[in-house]
């Protein structure tokens, strides 16, 4: 923190990468006003409006709902719309794109890998047979809703993938959010897709890569607890494995 005039300021070291101009990323340092109510995203908007209009980054809601503003702040994955500047002062803030993902430009990562994985686990309600409309809704008790509610809070911000050391080493790992999302549907009383999803989740690239480091649940802004989802699914998958070996005739495959 330095004082230029009356207004205190803070420095942001911002990761820059413009593929058409530079082969290697660089860092630009910007000095921005340090206001009590400002979050890192406000500082980035200030830079874009006042200092360097070419800075690229994603954001939308500014209130922790859309999940698009995730970045690394001093090496920690955070939602920049929820990370107050003052909690980093005094000292500067190094702002980088989310770790473990290819960078498209400046602070923007490419999400292709996650989109493919999310699709792979079939995150929708799979039913054997659609009920005719006249039979009415698929009713659920509050207890049945509670079963999966926590896992439905995910905003796809990808902080968990950035925090996960396993994903960093093994990009084929299907990853925390995708598994939590699979559990969101697996645990839904209206869903019958468990068997289909097990073929994707119970593989070496599925839950079995996870060694329960737990960083994903630490950084999750929505308390989804992906580590808990994975751990819980390991039990399901293990039961299923023993059943298929010891009682092969009960297994559907």
Binding site for ligand FES (CB under 6 A): 59-62, 64-69, 79, 81
Nearer to other proteins, 211 or 250 (CB): 211
Nearer to other proteins, 83 or 200 (CB): 200
Contacted entry of ligand FES, other proteins, none for residue 146, CB cut-off 5 to 8 Å set by kind: none
Burial environment of residue 8 by CB neighbours within 10 A (0 to 12, 13 to 18, 19 or more): middle
Nearer to other proteins, 10 or 230 (CB): 230
**Of 1-9, 35-43, 147-155, 194-202, which part binds other proteins (CB under 8 A)?**
194-202
Which of helix, strand or coil describes residue 73?
strand
Contacted entry of other proteins, ligand FES, none for residue 60, CB cut-off 5 to 8 Å set by kind: ligand FES
Short-list 155, 57, 150, 64, CA closest to 114: 155
Residue 47 in the binding site for other proteins (CB under 8 A):
no
Contacted entry of other proteins, ligand FES, none for residue 94, CB cut-off 5 to 8 Å set by kind: none
What spatial distance separates the first Cα and last Cα of the chain, rounded to whole Å? 63
Short-list 77, 42, 60, CA closest to 167: 77
Contacted entry of other proteins, ligand FES, none for residue 59, CB cut-off 5 to 8 Å set by kind: ligand FES
Instruction: Please give the Cα distance from 246 to 47 (Å, whole number).
Output: 63
Nearer to ligand FES, 198 or 219 (CB): 219
Burial environment of residue 216 by CB neighbours within 10 A (0 to 12, 13 to 18, 19 or more): buried
Contacted entry of other proteins, ligand FES, none for residue 199, CB cut-off 5 to 8 Å set by kind: other proteins
Which of helix, strand or coil describes residue 16?
strand
Residues 201-240 that bind other proteins (CB under 8 A): 202-204, 206, 208, 211, 234, 237-238, 240
**Min. distance of Cβ 128 from ligand FES in angstroms?**
37
β-pair type (7-16, 2-4): antiparallel
What residues form DSSP beta bridges with 70? 79
């Amino acid at each position: 923190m330095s004082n230029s005039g009356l207004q205190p300021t803070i420095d942001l070291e911002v990761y820059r990468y413009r593929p058409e101009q530079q082969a290697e990323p660089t860092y630009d340092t910007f000095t921005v006003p340090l206001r009590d109510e400002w979050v890192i995203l406000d500082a980035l908007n200030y830079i874009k409006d006042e200092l360097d209009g070419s800075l690229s980054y994603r954001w939308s809601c500014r209130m922790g709902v859309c999940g698009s503003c995730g970045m690394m702040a001093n090496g920690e994955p955070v939602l920049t719309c929820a990370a107050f500047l003052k909690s980093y002062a005094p000292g500067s803030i190094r702002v980088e794109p989310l770790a473990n993902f290819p960078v498209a430009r400046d602070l923007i990562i490419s999400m292709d890998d996650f989109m493919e994985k999310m699709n792979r686990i079939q995150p929708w309600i799979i039913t054997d047979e659609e009920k005719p409309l006249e039979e009415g809704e698929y009713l659920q008790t509050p207890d049945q809703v509670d079963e999966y509610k926590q896992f439905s809070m995910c905003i796809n911000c990808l902080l968990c993938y950035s925090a996960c050391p396993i994903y960093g080493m093994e990009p084929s790992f299907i990853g925390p959010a995708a598994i939590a999302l699979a559990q969101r549907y697996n645990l839904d009383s209206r869903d019958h897709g468990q068997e289909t999803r097990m073929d994707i989740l119970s593989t070496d690239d599925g839950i079995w890569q996870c060694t329960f480091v737990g960083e994903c649940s630490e950084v999750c802004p929505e308390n989804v607890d992906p580590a808990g989802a994975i751990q819980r699914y390991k039990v399901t998958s293990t039961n299923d494995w023993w059943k298929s070996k010891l009682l092969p005739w009960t297994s559907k495959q």
